[in-house]
Homo-oligomer: A and B are copies of this chain.
Amino acid sequence: MKKLLEQTGFSLNLVWVLLTGYMIMFMQAGFAMVETGFTRAKNCGHTMAMNFMVYTIAMTGYWICGFAIQWGGTADPVVTATMPSAAAFALGPDINALNKMIGITIGDKFYGLFGAKGFFLLGDDLYKGPILALFMFQMLFMDTTATIPTGTLAERWKFTAFIAVSFVIGAFIYPMFGCWVWGGGWLSALGKNLGLGHGMVDFAGSSVVHLCGGTLALVGAKIVGARIGKFNKDGSANPIPGHNIPMAVVGTFILAFGWFGFNPGSSLSGMDTHIGVIAVNTMLASASGAITGMTVTWLRFGKPDPSFMCNGMLAGLVAITGPCAFVDPWAAYLIGAIAGVLVIYAVEVVDACRLDDPVGAISVHGVNGAWGIIALGIFANGKYGGGWNGVDGNVRGLISGDVPQLVAQLIGIVTCIVFVGTCAWITFTVVEALIGNRVSAEDEMEGLDIPELGILGYQADLNPEEK
């Protein structure tokens, strides 16, 4: 009976992981609507199609090797000797089959680099509900990252280039950095090995998902270049308004809905009552981000542009993603409020750098992803996270007296930008050389739907006549 009770807890956790995972999957629809709504009608089919196929292509890459790289070593005895596997704790002993980590040992400390078990999900020891549920949940996180560049590069990215880059993100770039933070890799071990707080801590992915996606978008924007007509010769930017605000608003609601899966689901546990705290922190930061985003826009430009209401909310959500489990509700509200301000000014900086980001993804995901990681290092309240990454005691930030934690956070940010940025630069450069990243100027002016896909996204009614 004791075993059944234990199993009931594991099952509740599994149900929680699956259902919150489903909500994250639904965020793909939200991204599709936000990105398409904020861009022009003439490209709507193309922007939608990228958002649709990224789910399938990046998933394929993650299935082939991404999951093995990110999670294949999470339960390697070398890792668990110092850092117990959170996934195994929540989902049960089946997870222990993910037991092969490649890494280096310096002195007597082990630094994990990447996992090496789970390719194609082959093997009977992996054919278990908990392992496959972990695959699904983590795949969906990765797909969120992979869909961020499609917004920044919308209206000019070649479909073949998009496919190639998305595959590489899912198969390699995201999983590597993800392993370092969540899969038992070296960033998570900074606490245990070097005494930097609890090591790099990112509860639900301000860095792993959002800063990573924002960095990919940034490098892409640099290499692919701006849309025709975005920048004047004097460097000033022209606004190119999106065609459908209602679509973007509904998409934002879908994203905010999915975030309730994203953040609380990252507990991997329905038995941990702290999920209630995480949900509320997520909700409060989304509200304050939208409010400050609207207010600052109103004060600066005279009108409360709804696109900044949306981007303010998304900025708040991105920023709270990392610290959501470790801060008080008042701090969550504050973190979101700052994010809503940051996103407005970041958009102007991006413009000033002559980077063309039609949906503001670099500002929303990149800048506020970094802000979220820093915010954790500041506002972590020391009330949660006992034993996290194998370090005793709860996670603390500046306000509760832990300076080294903030150092670990900063190391994480720099690592993310350098590693992901380098990978992105290589990937886009190789793609440029092999197939080209960009459609022709004629196609861009016409709109990408017919040249790239052969069908108009919005089609006036045709009544074919019988011949």
Binding site for B on A (CB under 8 A): 1-2, 4-5, 7-12, 14-16, 18-19, 21-23, 25-26, 28-29, 32-33, 36, 40-42, 44-45, 48-49, 51-53, 55-57, 59-60, 63, 92, 94, 120-122, 124, 127-133, 135-136, 139, 159, 228-234, 238-247, 249-250, 252-254, 256-257, 260-261, 264, 270-277, 279-280, 283-284, 286-288, 290-291, 294, 301-307, 309-310, 313, 328-330, 333, 383, 445, 447, 449, 452-467
Contact = CB atoms under 8 A, between A and B. Distances in A.
A466 B65 CA distance: 44
Given A5-B5, A253-B52, A304-B159, A273 B130 contact: yes
A447 to B, nearest CB: 8
Contact of A240 (B42, B94, B230, B462): B462
B241 A462 contact: yes
Contacts of A131: 276
Contacts of A63: 284, 287, 329, 333
B233 A270 contact: no
A227 B69 CA distance: 52
B127 A383 contact: yes
A329 B120 contact: yes
Contact of A136 (B2, B26, B279): B279
Contacts of A44: 245-246
A11 B10 contact: no
A46 B92 CA distance: 50
A284 B25 CA distance: 13
A43 to B, nearest CB: 9
A303 B244 CA distance: 26
A464 B11 contact: no
User: Top 10 nearest A-B pairs by Cβ distance?
Assistant: A303-B454, A129-B276, A129-B273, A133-B276, A56-B287, A29-B253, A229-B464, A238-B464, A132-B280, A232-B467
Given A283-B59, A455-B305, A465 B245 contact: no
Q: How many copies does the complex hold?
A: 3
A274 B129 contact: yes
Contacts of A254: 26, 29
A453 B304 contact: yes
A5 B15 contact: no
A92 B273 CA distance: 11
B290 A52 contact: yes
A128 B228 contact: no
Given A330-B120, A455-B305, A461 B18 contact: no
A29 B290 contact: no
B241 A49 contact: no
Given A1-B5, A229-B465, A245-B457, 6 more contacts: A14-B276, A18-B264, A45-B306, A60-B291, A233-B466, A234-B467
Contacts of A233: 466-467
A434 B287 CA distance: 25
